[in-house]
Structure 1
Amino acid sequence: MLLTLPAPAFLARLFAAPTRPRVTRWFAARVRHGATRHIEPPAGRVTVHCREGEAWLTQDGDPKDVVLQAAESHRLLRGDRVVVHALRGDCVLEIQVDD
Structure 2
Amino acid sequence: MQKTIYGKVYDTEQSVLLARGTFIDGHTSDGRIRKGTKELYRSDKGQFFLSHTTQWESKRNYIESVSIDGAKKLYATLPEHTVPFTEAFAEQQAPLP
Tell me if both proteins adopt one fold, taking TM over 0.5 as the criterion: no
Q: Greater CA radius of gyration, 1 or 2?
A: 1
- Greater relative contact order structure (CA < 8 Å, 6+ sep): 1
Output the TM-score relative to the length of structure 2: 0.29
Output the TM-score relative to the length of structure 1: 0.29
Q: Which has the higher helix share?
A: 2
